[in-house]
Chain A
């Protein structure tokens, strides 16, 4: 049922969905760089049919753009692999070839400074395709990144990610682009967590994808793509609350779920004395939370804007909404009971 929704209610595309999953598994579990590249290519090939819909010109254009960027990155990746095999037989990670390999992988992920395709494409996809793009498509490039990365280059990329993710989102009104820039920002956190340990990355990634899922499913159910659509309907209190909690959780505010991975990463940052980097992480988080709160805060004031005649029919989905609010609020506390 969930997979059915993921393919935009078109069961013909479920085949491609399964191949997408398998491709990632191929990519991350191969013991040769060539296998990784094969996985990446199959990933690209199976994602394109998922997002293309020949009845819609925007969708076609989007899938074409996606194909161009990803294939360019894959070509580069293959080339660098071959150069590494033939010319450089060392295992040292901090050299130019690793910069080049990391750049191509970063382009596949949509990380700054190669991120310019990402908001464009996100604008052209439906919500569920966005969900796949923002979560599943990042798995294999990240894991491949963790196998061979250049520390200095990556730290520079992290800083760029954070800053672009926060500053770019300040001026947006489209919800998809907003989530895209937030995704770029979170990519910064995730790349840093890769540099610490893969376990930590997995933790961050799982929680991040859960949060994104809750947000995207809410927007999907309400069929909202732009910020002005947020208040033109008659949202009842629980939906507003859920939206607020999810936004704050995504921003990393303490009692909510999204604080936990960020807290652990900050812990590692401070232990390993990355003080300036900590500062940049903090400040950009503040900017991100600012524009999340800016979206939703006016609906909680005493005189909030409410239309009388556009009623949102969400009765079937209230269980999901309440469940996601509950998870977001109580995860941090319940997680302390897990390890007892």
Chain B
């Protein structure tokens, strides 16, 4: 099963690549439409839009998924129901492809709902309590987005069809589009885990690592960004984009800080994904959809690679995910640490790796156009924080001493996993430049003063020094986290927002329902409808029986008495 899907998806991805090149070079885009049902004024159509953006995204998605499925052949080889897992992943890819190619809100809804549902199935794949809770959090947060898209479908019915791409440029002043833009933004925010809904992404790390590599790094969470890129012409001057800018910048900043306090390997990578998502959303809301798309694609490459390396390390360390147990791994697993380092450095934006092209372009566009001081500060600060936690991670995992308190065999020779990582390594090295030559037919004109241009490098160096210093631990060093306990808690637990959306939302209702259950269901309604009525009827029946058990002569005599009374009335 793994081999078949590997070849099929890889072949599909190459196919998309060739078509994409042809379409970009000739400026072509193909629109298939099949009308299913047509009511009086509405028509439900199934349409497929193939332009360079959807083909490019499909190519990346299918490449990553083919590599991940091949990787999971070795990662999940002790799983009894591996076929079930692969089928779930394939269904996920199918939903994502459906989302990518659809210019029509109904098929977007199909893909969107499919993504939410299958990511729930995949998160709860390991059946323990933590996975169940994480899955519930994931599913319900995504569900809010589904509801928003359903309401968008309702509102767009005003226009007669659900092909939104035809209406975006022309209907901007309409009240309908005002409401639609609000809902679309909220839907994208739930899927891409921006600030009010950001609690599900770190929790969803309870899923198996291939799932995290595919779902939570490149496809599911980028679906929201992709939706906003598609709707960009509609949203570009609206008020809600400013709100989105604010929230996404805060997401970027918050997750950068929280990643510095985390000690779980997969959670650090999840929070780094969250930070990069905030970056994508913020550059999108500043008005540059193509740069956001560019960063989406390059990020998916190196983040998937990073998750896969993390998977190898976790397997190797006897399923321990805590980085305090790891150290000095670069000496023992050279190939994996090669992939880890390249993806980490690409994440930081080290020159001429793939992340550099997109990230540097973003930062230069932010400095070149005149924006808020706070926007500027938070962007650069978050970049510095990215470097900070990256270097902290590298120090803990690669450079410091090995901390696992047992004799262990650190091996690297699982060539199935390594081969799949090499494919992504190749792409993660080259995709930056390759994409920048394809997507931008002419480069952006950026003219910056010298220090502003080097600001990225200053911030990166600062971050790396801090990352180095924070991870230097000696026997006699003070635990600074304990000394700033309240502040550390606040910053580490994602500014307490997960508590708000889980405990805060459910406690009131559960408490209330307990009161209702005890007092009404098991209390008064038993007297007024359940046992109470039964007791009343039983008493009536017993009372009736007193009359029934009588002497026979009394019956006959009562009959005669009745007739005598009637007769008296008759006579009268």
Contact = CB atoms under 8 A, between A and B. Distances in A.
Most buried by B among A76, A97, A116: A116
B563 interface: yes
Nearest to B567: A100
B77 interface: no
B559 interface: yes
A110 B540 CA distance: 21
A1 interface: no
Interface string A150-166: 00000000000000100
Given A116-B555, A120-B552, A287-B537, A164 B566 contact: no
A51 B569 CA distance: 38
B443 to A, nearest CB: 75
Contact of B544 (A68, A114, A167): A167
A69 B555 CA distance: 9
B51 to A, nearest CB: 57
Binding site secondary structure of chain A: helix
B567 A170 contact: no
Contacts of B566: 96, 99-100, 103
A33 interface: no
Most buried by B among A68, A119, A167: A167
A119 B548 contact: yes
Contacts of B369: none
Most buried by B among A68, A169, A170: A170
Contacts of A65: 552
B34 interface: no
Contacts of B548: 116, 119, 168
Most buried by A among B545, B555, B560: B555
A64 to B, nearest CB: 9
A73 B559 CA distance: 9
Contact of B545 (A69, A97, A171, A287): A171
Contacts of B315: none
B545 A117 contact: no
Contact of A72 (B547, B556, B567): B556
Binding site secondary structure of chain B: helix
A167 B537 contact: yes
Nearest to A83: B570
B550 interface: yes
Nearest to B545: A171
B541 A170 contact: yes
Contacts of B567: 100
A97 B569 CA distance: 10
Nearest to A171: B541
A248 interface: no
A107 interface: yes
Contacts of A69: 555-556, 559
Interface string B533-572: 0000110111011011010100110011011001101100
Interface in A75-113: 76, 83, 96-97, 99-100, 103, 107
Given A68-B556, A114-B559, A116-B550, A168 B545 contact: yes
A10 B517 CA distance: 63
Contacts of B544: 164, 167-168, 171
Contacts of B560: 72
A119 B562 CA distance: 21
A170 B562 contact: no
B552 A170 contact: no
Given A100-B563, A103-B566, A170 B556 contact: no
A119 B556 CA distance: 15
A116 B547 CA distance: 9
A170 B537 contact: yes
Contacts of B537: 167, 170, 287
25 contacts: A68-B556, A69-B555, A69-B556, A96-B569, A97-B570, A100-B563, A100-B570, A103-B562, A103-B563, A103-B566, A114-B559, A116-B547, A116-B550, A116-B555, A117-B552, A117-B555, A119-B548, A164-B544, A167-B537, A170-B537, A170-B538, A170-B541, A171-B538, A171-B544, A171-B545
Given A100-B566, A117-B552, A167-B540, 19 more contacts: A68-B552, A69-B559, A72-B560, A73-B559, A96-B569, A96-B570, A100-B563, A100-B567, A103-B562, A114-B555, A116-B555, A117-B555, A167-B537, A167-B544, A168-B548, A169-B541, A170-B537, A171-B538, A287-B537
Please list the 5 inter-chain residue pairs (A to B) with the smallest Cβ-Cβ separation, ordered nearest first.
Answer: A170-B541, A116-B555, A171-B541, A96-B570, A167-B541
